[in-house]
Structure 1
Amino acid sequence: MNLALTVLEIVAPVFMLAAVGFTWVKLGFEYRIQFITRFAMTLAVPSLIFVALMQTKISGDDLGVFTIATVAGNLVLSVVFWVFVKVTGLNQRTYLSPLVFGNTGNLGLPLCIFAFGDAGLGYAVIFLSVTALWSFTYGIYLVAGQGSFGKVVREPMVWATILGALFLWQGWETPTFLTNGLSLMGQMAVPMMLITLGVAVARLTPGNIGPAIVLSAVKLAVCVALGWAVAEYFELGKIAAGVLIVQFATPVAVTSYLLAERFGADSNAVAGMTVASTVLSILAMPIVLAFVL
């Protein structure tokens, strides 16, 4: 009973804020998603990442092992689903990206914060940063036929991760007034991302719902199993393992739909997977969290 209450306290605020965004759009109110997303990814999320890394109490060695585990897990996941797409005959440009990339920012980050606290945040931002790098290169290559390394080096989130890791390694601290300002800005990131997730889902026009449900279930099962296997292989601690599994279990990222629409893949099919996997996560995430807590 206590575990069920704990899980409810974690997932309820997350999906409540997403529901606010969903309802806001359905009521016909304006929401400038491009502006909010750019603001979040340029200022709020990088501030959150930098302060979280700078102030984390996790040892550098533990973060190093977790980073290697995250990289290895994402590489294995990419290979597994590449084989899956080839065997099943699915269109690679349409389906491989949503199968590989989860919503580690909008949904995974808040879940890890509520579930594991400040320690979980430190691990979660590492996972988010690694997957963002992979998405900007391999993810864009899958859909467009070319990567975007130039976009990577211009991404504030990347530099926030590098600087945060440097400050952690050297034991540096920014002046109190600056830390407080960055912390305040970073606190905007989680509600903004969750509300934006709800808005994005509300605006999608899903197609091929039947196959989308099946593929979403396959993605969830493979990702949870892989997350558990990687955590066991690298002998991660309880919090690090929990973050790894939760982040791998996140539903299809909305960015997969945006890339499909931009580069001429089947965006309706990707929209169907995004909606199906997000709805599935409402049922699955409490079970995943009960497993890792």
Structure 2
Amino acid sequence: MNLVLTVLEIVAPVFLLATIGYIWVRMGVEYKVEFVTRLAMTLSVPCLIFTALMRTEIDPVALTTLSLAAAVGYGVLTAVTAIALWVFRLDMRTYLAPLIYGNTGNLGLPLAMFAFGEAGLGYAVIVFAIMALWNFTFGIWVVSGGGSVLRALREPLLWGTILGGIFLWQGWETPRFLTNTLELVGQIAIPIMLITLGVAVARLTPGRMVLAVGLSALKLVLCVGIAWGVGTFFKLEPVALAVLILQISTPVAVTSYLLAEKYGADAQAVAGLVVASTLMSVAAIPVLLAILL
């Protein structure tokens, strides 16, 4: 019973905030997703990542090991997913990126923080940064059908991660007034991302739901299995292993839908994946947390 209550305490704030966004849209109230997303991704999330890394007390060696594990995990997941799509003769441009990149920002960061505290958040931002780097290079290259892989260099969250890593490595800290300011800006990120997730889901029009449900189930199984195997291979300590599994196993990100829309992939098919995998996560995440805690 205590375990059930613990899991509910962790999961409830996440889904309640997303529900607020969902209800907000259904009531017909205006919500500018583009502005809010830009605010979060260019300002608030980079500040959150920078301060979380700078102030973390996690051993830098452990963070390095987790970074390698996350990179290998996403690499293996990419290869296995690509093979599966080739076997089932599904469009790589449409399905590969969404099945690789989960909602590690909107959902993974708050879940890690609620479940494992500041240490969990420190680990989670590392996995988030690895995912973002891979998404904004290889992911965009796949969805767009080619082109530059240097988009990540223009992403503030990448530089927030790099600077945070440098400050962590050197043991530096910003002046207290600046740290307080950055922390305040960073604190916007988690609630606003969760509300925006609910808004985005409310506005999606899912397509081909039977296929979407099947692929979402396949994604969940592959992600949990690969993350668990890679984390065990790298001998991650329990919290780091749990965060790696949790982050890689998050449902399809709304960002995947936006990128498909922008670059001409099958956006409705991706919308179906977002809805199906997000709804599936309502049941899957509590079960996963119960196992990991």
Normalized against structure 1, the TM-score is what? 0.98
Partners of 1:150 and 1:142 lie apart in 2 by 13
| Letter of the structure 1 residue corresponding to residue 238 of structure 2 | K
Alpha-carbon shift at residue 231 of structure 1 (Å): 1.2
User: Measured at CA, do residues 147 and 64 of structure 1 come closer, stay the same or move farther in structure 2, by a change above 3 Å?
Assistant: farther
2:229 maps to which residue? 229
2:55 maps to which residue? 55
Are 2:196 and 1:196 equivalent residues in the alignment? yes
Alpha-carbon shift at residue 260 of structure 1 (Å): 1.2
1:183 maps to which residue? 183
Partners of 1:11 and 1:191 lie apart in 2 by 13
- Is the 8 Å Cα contact of residues 140 and 149 (structure 2) preserved in structure 1? no
- Is the 8 Å Cα contact of residues 65 and 234 (structure 1) preserved in structure 2? yes
Partners of 1:151 and 1:264 lie apart in 2 by 18
Stretches of structure 1 lacking an aligned partner (at least 5 in a row): none
1:98-140 C-alpha deviation (Å, 9 max, x unpaired): 1111111011111001001000011100001110010011101
Partners of 1:216 and 1:158 lie apart in 2 by 28
1:15 maps to which residue? 15
- Is the 8 Å Cα contact of residues 141 and 149 (structure 2) preserved in structure 1? no
Alpha-carbon shift at residue 148 of structure 1 (Å): 4.1
Count matched residues.
293
Partners of 2:221 and 2:154 lie apart in 1 by 34
Alpha-carbon shift at residue 227 of structure 1 (Å): 1.1
2:106 maps to which residue? 106
2:82 maps to which residue? 82
Farther-moved stretch of structure 1 (137-146 vs 241-250): 137-146
Partners of 1:201 and 1:172 lie apart in 2 by 40
- Is the 8 Å Cα contact of residues 78 and 100 (structure 2) preserved in structure 1? yes
Alpha-carbon shift at residue 146 of structure 1 (Å): 2.3
Instruction: Look up the SS of the partner of 1:235 in the other structure.
Output: coil
Farther-moved stretch of structure 1 (68-77 vs 136-145): 136-145
- Aligned-pair identity (%): 59
Farther-moved stretch of structure 1 (281-290 vs 137-146): 137-146
- Is the 8 Å Cα contact of residues 201 and 275 (structure 1) preserved in structure 2? yes
Are 2:282 and 1:253 equivalent residues in the alignment? no
Instruction: Look up the SS of the partner of 2:31 in the other structure.
Output: coil
Alpha-carbon shift at residue 258 of structure 1 (Å): 1.0
Instruction: Look up the SS of the partner of 1:72 in the other structure.
Output: helix
Are 2:291 and 1:288 equivalent residues in the alignment? no
Query: What pairs up with 1:22-171 in 2 under 5 angstroms?
Result: 22-171=22-171
Alpha-carbon shift at residue 245 of structure 1 (Å): 0.5
Partners of 1:165 and 1:253 lie apart in 2 by 25
Partners of 2:121 and 2:140 lie apart in 1 by 27
4+ aligned runs moved over 4 Å, structure 1:
none
1:14-54 C-alpha deviation (Å, 9 max, x unpaired): 00000000110011000000000000111110110000000
Alpha-carbon shift at residue 259 of structure 1 (Å): 1.4
Alpha-carbon shift at residue 180 of structure 1 (Å): 0.7
1:218-262 C-alpha deviation (Å, 9 max, x unpaired): 100110111111111011011100100000110001111111111
